[in-house]
Amino acid sequence: MNEEFKKYFPSCEHVPIVRTGNRYWFNEHLLKVAIDNTQYNIATITIQIIDAYIGAKKNAFEKFIEFCESVQKLSEEKVVDFIKGLLEPTVDARIFEIVSYSVLKYHYHNQTIYWGFELDDLTQERLILYKTGRTNANDGGIDFVMKPLGRFFQVTETVDVKKYFLDIDKIQRFPITFVIKSSDSAEVILERIREQAEQQYSVRAVVSKYMACIEEIINVPILLDDFRAAIQSGFLHTMVRTETMRQSPHNF
């Protein structure tokens, strides 16, 4: 972070992160602002804002867990409305990833494929979706993987072409499905990505190669349709209480 800071503020004599032993501190010199010839240190208020943000996030998550635990006591209508709210574009990114995984897992649950090396010796196998990383871990990993097809899924809340193409490069331009926290149609999202790509890359062949790696766009409306289908298949309580609860402790 210090090196990145120096790129944009080469004349600044301070760096943001200071290390003392095994502890890291934010440089207080960068939290002093001057207004009308009076200098103010905003370190304390900054900490208060951060603490308030953490408290709000923690409170929201605790309510989320409480609801999941009490789902069997609630009417199906209330549960459905609650889950729909968690798939809104404004919801916390970590909760969105957990809920979208639960929905997609049971969307594919009843789908089967036949595969094998000989036509007279085929294996019937269900599609199983695995969650392969922690939410917001910034570990460079893929979020979901489907067996036995080997499909990759990445959850995102942005339509920044750099993010998409970076994810594609991570897996050597292998086809990838993006689960996007957006209500825009898949066509609109793809067009936005293409427009940004054409602005950055002058060679259309390069743009086409990257765009071809986007196997599918799954947006909020598609997730809601999959959620309704999973409910009709009888997976409502399993999705919410079992799968969502199982994933949540690993990601918060």
Question: Domain limits of the chain?
Answer: 70-251
Cα–Cα dist 174/210, whole Å: 10
Q: How confident is the model at residue 110 (pLDDT cuts 50, 70, 90)?
A: confident
Give the CATH number of domain 70-251.
3.40.91
Q: Of the candidates 25, 121, 88, 66, which has an alpha carbon nearest to the alpha carbon of residue 240?
A: 66
Residue positions counted in the chain: 252
Instruction: Tell me which of 2 and 138 has the higher pLDDT.
Output: 2
Cα–Cα distance, 193 to 104 (Å, whole number): 24
Instruction: Write the pLDDT tens digit of every residue in 156-211.
Output: 988 888 888 888 988 889 999 999 999 999 999 999 999 999 998 888 898 999 99
At 163 the pLDDT is 86
Residue 140 scores a pLDDT above 70: no
Q: What is the mean pLDDT of residues 67-87?
A: 76
Q: Around Cβ 54, how many Cβ atoms within 10 Å? A: 10
